[in-house]
Amino acid sequence: MLIRYGTTKEGKRVEIARIYTVDEHGISRSKIDPEARKVTERLTSEGFQAFIVGGAVRDLLVGKAPKDFDVATDAHPRRVRKMFWNSRIIGKRFRLVHVEINGTIVEVATFRSLAGPNEFGTIEEDVARRDFTMNALYYSPEKEQVLDYVGGFEDIRARRIRSLLPIETTFVDDPVRMVRAVKYAVGTGFELPAKLKTRIRKSADELARCSASRMTEEVFKILQSGRSASVFGLAMELGLFPHMMIAMSEQLKRTGQREKTAALLDSLSRLDEAVQREPEVARSRMIIALVEPSLVFPAELPRDRSLLVKEIFAGIKTLMKPITPPNADVEAAVKELMEKRGIAPPPKPRRRRRRGASRAGGAPRTPEQPPAR
């Protein structure tokens, strides 16, 4: 292990970070996505710092294959954009760069400052902005070293989930961190500390402040994880589920909570098995896994199938509030649910030709242009 030192205002030399070598952390650069390595190699060759960060480092240390390999750097977005012709800057406030190489998108973020959410800063400031110590580790593929400013490496070795920010305020600052804490516990197999569980239960109401778009993003990430049944089960235990899926939670209470909850978790378990076999499961199937058909089908089916489609569509939208899935995904889910009931979807309405248009779709006929024989 190597030590990175800094100096205090008084000029005293102090340890600010620990650097773990490949013999200690066991992460070979061969385990890093090759496209992400190309990004870090290019950045470092231009004299910038570049690290694989966050969940990818955590997952590699616990023996799991990461889904994404995000990069953090001290290069500003415009500079990154100039270095990679196949890239684009995204984000209205804090700018990120998406670099596309061989069909893989690598997200590159500039170190953030403590001065504000949309300001660039140093690596030390970027570390301090992260949620849990296990997510505040920085891996250099070029040096094969893990840089640790907050003791996250030892926390992972001890199977410990520790908030990087004060536990009294972290969930008030960002309520979504409660959902992420549950995801991390399930994903790593680590036990949530009793103090963290207590704080989550006390702070669960804070989720009401989250926007529908942000909650939608988190819920679909859970559904795509292959561990949704366990994550939602723990979320129910800690009192988060009623704030993540408000309408569904209320409906479960009205319709026999134990049986319906058990059926929901069983449905999610089947979804998890499907995701583990085939990661690119359609979002419509994820919606179906969440939706109990008896809660969205009307008691008496209307004879007009178009009306039935509208009623099921509205039922799903209502049941999933505040989650707002795309209409196209809901429409696909409606079609699949009807097919499972043996109900054929209504025929698509025929498009009416505009008056004067030719049958072949060419120019309209005119008196000077008689029809072809």
DSSP conformational letter for 89: E
Which residue among the candidates 33, 59, 131, 155 is catalytic per the annotation? 131
* Burial zone of 109 (CB within 10 Å; 0-12 exposed, 13-18 middle, 19+ buried): buried
**Sheet with strand 2-7: strands edge to edge:** 2-7, 13-20, 145-148, 137-140, 50-53, 70-73, 104-110, 96-101, 87-90
- What is the torsional sign of CA 122, 127, 130, 136? positive
> Is-catalytic flag, 266?
no
Task: Say how many CA atoms lie within 13 Å of 219 toward its Cβ.
Answer: 27
Contact present, 52 and 139 (Cβ < 8 Å):
yes
| 110 close to 92: Cβ distance less than 8 angstroms | no
* Non-local CB neighbours of 320 within 8 Å, separated by 6+ positions: 245, 247, 248, 287, 290, 291
CB 211, CB 246: distance < 8 Å: no
Place of tokens 């072949």: 360
- The span from the CA of 339 to the CA of 349, in Å, is 19
| 360 burial type by CB count under 10 A (0-12 exposed, 13-18 middle, 19+ buried) | exposed
Residue 264 identity (one-letter amino acid): L
Determine whether 126 is an active site residue: no
Both tokens assigned to 297:
């089908």
**For this structure, is 148 an active site residue?**
no
* 14 backbone dihedrals φ, ψ, rounded to 5°: -135, 155
| DSSP strand pairing (104-110 vs 96-101) | antiparallel
Q: Indicate which residue of 70, 74, 126, 272 is catalytic.
A: 70
Alpha helices in 97-245 (DSSP H): 123-128, 152-157, 170-173, 176-188, 194-203, 212-223, 228-237, 241-244
Provide the token pair at 354: 């505009």
Q: Which residues are catalytic?
A: 68, 70, 131
